[in-house]
Structure 1
Amino acid sequence: MTAVLRALVFAVGLMSFGAQAQDNPRYPGIGRAATPAEVTAWDIDVRPDFKGLPAGSGSVAKGQQVWETKCASCHGVFGESNQVFNPLIGGTTAQDITTGKVATLQRTDYPGRTTLMKLQNVSTLWDYIRRAMPWNEPKSLSTEEVYAVTAYMLNLADVLPADFTLSNTNMGEVQQRIPNRNGFTTQHGLWPGREFGGTGKPDTRARPCMKDCPDPGKLALAPDFARGSHGDLSQQVRLVGPQRSASARIADVQTAAVSPSPASPSPASPSRIDVPLALLQKHSCNACHAASTKLVGPSWADIGQKHKGKADYLEGKIRSGGSGIWGAIPMPPQSISKEEAGQIAAWLAQGISR
């Protein structure tokens, strides 16, 4: 009986091996083909022809609510802020909506290029918001919220009226009002590619030269006084590849602010520096706050001086958010535990020196 059982187990193993080999003929016996459900979970991109766009809708009014709680802190109340990221709204006109080409892009005296000036397809905006926003919680928005925020942004740019509801059924109509929908060209070598009738030839035919190269010199990092503006950059790079960075602890920045000399700062206790910095990075606090300079919100130093000794108050503000104390830009409520909020609050309440 034992010999029979062993034979059956061996046969089942061979059948399983054969099934895996059939699923993945390029690498027999390794892995398996992805299931339709797994492919669907990963395949969330939305094309310019709207393939991949999920059913749903969202109003401009709903988008304003989402914007004020999850977007305005980085992009400004009207999408005009350039303190953290480039402005999103501005530079387009009613005439641009008619022609489909943004005239301001031809001006050399215009101060900058906003997202709506360069946008060709509304699907690109919708897709990027869905997969990458909010910056600290990507893919956390519901389908309705993505439709709503897209509609609100287009309303800010005077593309859509305030009572409009954007949906998968009217996205094509909205595309015909995007200010720069006709502003792109495909008349170059690599586009549209051989599969669409293009030449597929490269735009340039330069030959690579790897001889007589000049001395590249020394790679320059950010100056000491700026190295802490966005937290510890050495902890914000990919785990693979050639990316490198330098430590930018608040202790380093504070030392540099007092003296620009390259001398190393005195060691700081973990309770005052290391532990809070890990939490600041974990919860993306450095997107809006810097060590000693104002970004979207006040600096850590300013908060520490203004609310020194008020740990309980600071803990409550971190978790509940609010506006009006440091300006009109609101700080949204933070999804953070009471314990971690308390650690950050206790650190700030000690009074951080500039």
Structure 2
Amino acid sequence: MFRSSCVQSVLILAIALSASAAHADGQAVTRYSGIGRPATSAEVKAWDIDVRPDFKGLPKGRGSVRQGEVVWESKCASCHGTFGESSDVFAPLAGGTTAEDIKTGRVANLMPGANQPQRTALMKMATLSTLWDYINRAMPWNAPKSLSTDEVYAATAYILNLGGIVPGDFTLSDANIRDVQERLPNRKGTTTAHAMWPGAEFGGTSKPDVQGSVCMRDCKKEVIVKSFLPDYARNAHGQLAEQTRLVGGTRGADTNRPEPEIFMSNKASPLIARAPVATEKIANAVSGSAPGAAVMPLLQKNACIGCHAMDGKLVGPSFKDVAGKYKGRVDAVNYLAGKIKGGGQGVWGSMPMPPQTLNEAEATQLAQWLAREFSP
């Protein structure tokens, strides 16, 4: 009798729990009904574009060095230089490697005691997938993901040729890219002796990279990062802007001048990106004018404020300087619209501006704002 009652009680409890779970599930379904949906295969494919070190995810395609030169000159050279030597802003891509490095897989100029002031991309790169993947997803900077698959192969081949890794008549493809990987100058210059990347699948180890037992405890609630130089130390290493490097133009701050006002305005947090600060200034300046509401989205959409500030030089001249230079010019609108859309070099120094993808109406609208509405 006791056993029957016990079994009966257990059954009743199980039924009650099942009903409760079913009720909870029903509530969950009702609560989140109509919110979201499963991603389609096409949507997943559009996002799943990464290429792994074992080249999983690499699409089929091909591109020659000569085709890459055409792509490079039209879409890459304005920032990276014709021969990958770069400019006064961007770091050089090629240089610093030798034929012996290609044989050994270790770049001698990365070794202790080497006299190489500037490390280039080809010196440091250990996996060819990194180069292909980055070009595919991020280049050119003003129109990312606009290159076709074959153009990515071609641009990659051209860079490899600049470093002497492939000959001038070479065609890079998904069929031979693994062979080219075995010619990278720094292919053996990385380690997998940690558990962060790439893991056991690529020959890594399962040993934890960090083994402390008190990690992530008693952390400060607020951390302020400071990177500006005090006045007494600003010129401690000489005039950085005049220290040349072996490849590419000179980079470095003009240490004879004080810290730019754009950073000094907030000493508590000096690592404020220039573009966001410029964006705020531009937004405030145009918000009170009639065309402001239309101009600001154009400046943001076309990444204009990534290189141009309202009243201070960033990569390129300020909007104030541009407006002042062409103030009173009869054909200012047509001239500026053409320069905005077509790009150029030499008017404001050696740093080129690449052609922009905006249409004629947008270029004219920005030119009108600069020439007529924006007061220098």
Taking structure 1 as the reference length, the TM-score comes to 0.70
Structure 2 equivalent of residue 159 of structure 1:
165
Superposed displacement of residue 28, structure 1: 11
Q: CA RMSD in A?
A: 3.8
Deviations 1:62-105 (A, max 9, x none): 22222222223333333333644433222222221121111222
Equivalences for residues 269-284 of structure 1 within 5 A: 269-271=288-290, 276-284=295-303
- CA 1:299–1:28: 2 relative to 1, 3 Å: closer
Q: Distance in 2 between matches of 1:208 and 1:348?
A: 53
State the one-letter code of the partner of 1:64: E
Superposed displacement of residue 124, structure 1: 1.6
- CA 1:229–1:68: 2 relative to 1, 3 Å: farther
Superposed displacement of residue 142, structure 1: 0.5
Asked if 1:187 corresponds to 2:193, the answer is yes
Structure 2 equivalent of residue 348 of structure 1:
370
Equivalences for residues 25-174 of structure 1 within 5 A: 34-81=39-86, 83-107=88-112, 110-174=116-180
- CA 1:119–1:95: 2 relative to 1, 3 Å: same
Superposed displacement of residue 55, structure 1: 2.0
State the one-letter code of the partner of 1:208: C
- CA 1:186–1:161: 2 relative to 1, 3 Å: same
Superposed displacement of residue 198, structure 1: 5.5
Does the 8 Å CA contact 1:91/1:113 hold for their aligned counterparts?
Answer: yes
Structure 2 equivalent of residue 244 of structure 1:
none
Does the 8 Å CA contact 2:194/2:209 hold for their aligned counterparts?
Answer: yes
Superposed displacement of residue 132, structure 1: 1.6
Does the 8 Å CA contact 1:151/1:165 hold for their aligned counterparts?
Answer: yes
- The sequence identity of aligned pairs, in percent, is 55
Structure 1 equivalent of residue 268 of structure 2:
none
Structure 2 equivalent of residue 262 of structure 1:
none
Structure 2 equivalent of residue 300 of structure 1:
319
Q: Distance in 2 between matches of 1:162 and 1:267?
A: 50
State the one-letter code of the partner of 1:144: D
Asked if 1:286 corresponds to 2:305, the answer is yes
Does the 8 Å CA contact 2:275/2:307 hold for their aligned counterparts?
Answer: no
Deviations 1:20-69 (A, max 9, x none): xxxxxxx9998766554444333322222323222221122222222222
Does the 8 Å CA contact 2:283/2:296 hold for their aligned counterparts?
Answer: no
- In structure 2, stretches of 5+ residues that fail to align are 1-31, 229-258, 264-271
Structure 2 equivalent of residue 257 of structure 1:
none
Does the 8 Å CA contact 1:188/1:203 hold for their aligned counterparts?
Answer: yes
Q: Secondary structure at the match of 2:79?
A: helix
Superposed displacement of residue 324, structure 1: 4.2
Superposed displacement of residue 293, structure 1: 5.1
State the one-letter code of the partner of 2:188: N
Deviations 1:185-208 (A, max 9, x none): 112345554566765221222223
Does the 8 Å CA contact 1:231/1:286 hold for their aligned counterparts?
Answer: yes
Q: Secondary structure at the match of 1:340?
A: helix
Q: Distance in 1 between matches of 2:260 and 2:206?
A: 47
State the one-letter code of the partner of 1:117: M
Does the 8 Å CA contact 1:231/1:250 hold for their aligned counterparts?
Answer: no
Superposed displacement of residue 146, structure 1: 0.4
Superposed displacement of residue 149, structure 1: 0.8
Does the 8 Å CA contact 2:344/2:354 hold for their aligned counterparts?
Answer: yes
Q: Distance in 1 between matches of 2:74 and 2:84?
A: 13
- In structure 1, stretches of 5+ residues that fail to align are 1-26, 236-246, 253-265
State the one-letter code of the partner of 1:302: D
Does the 8 Å CA contact 2:87/2:351 hold for their aligned counterparts?
Answer: no
- CA 1:209–1:163: 2 relative to 1, 3 Å: closer
Q: Secondary structure at the match of 1:160?
A: coil
Q: Which of 323, 343, 347 is the matching residue for 1:321?
A: 343
Does the 8 Å CA contact 1:229/1:293 hold for their aligned counterparts?
Answer: no
> 295-304 or 126-135, which moves further after superposition?
295-304
